[in-house]
Structure 1
């Protein structure tokens, strides 16, 4: 599973955009570069939790500014789930 692609897919679904792996960089800012507002980001987190069958603590969702920040949090959750299983 490519977590980066899942994040882009969720952003595209919520924002009705067409970002691709080729059109964005991991260090793009969610707000500034991709135009994601705080309400949309909550929807994106929810969508990603559903898709990946994980739960991300609210505290882990705060202060995530770039695509890479979100990917890192999700990968950590997926790694933790794999260790527990």
Structure 2
């Protein structure tokens, strides 16, 4: 799965959890999850769960630490999909 498709999926999930209308056109990968996007820790847990479910991957909790930007999240899932391809 391409970086752009992962980015679009993450934004789709964020929009569902937060009831927002973020898109690739109005959000940059370097936006901070808590800052520019206003995602709190409870919402982030929902977002992680939903993305993992849709991509059929499991991200270890230790990989979720020190994640601050959308790019950080994209990189984690991109790496997971190379290591553990979705079926």
* Aligned residue-pair number: 83
Q: State the partner residue of 1:60.
A: 63
Q: State the partner residue of 2:49.
A: 46
Deviations 1:7-66 (A, max 9, x none): 000100100100010000010000000000011000000000000000000000111000
What's the C-alpha RMSD, in Å, of the aligned pairs? 1.1
Does residue 1:9 correspond to 2:12, yes or no?
Answer: yes
**Any gaps of 5 or more consecutive residues in structure 1?**
none
TM-score, normalised with respect to structure 1: 0.94
**Any gaps of 5 or more consecutive residues in structure 2?**
none
Does residue 1:33 correspond to 2:36, yes or no?
Answer: yes
Segments ≥4 residues shifted beyond 3 Å: none
Q: State the partner residue of 1:19.
A: 22
Matching residue within 67, 76, 79 for 2:82: 79
Give the distance between the partners of 2:19 and 2:48, measured in 1 at CA. Answer: 16
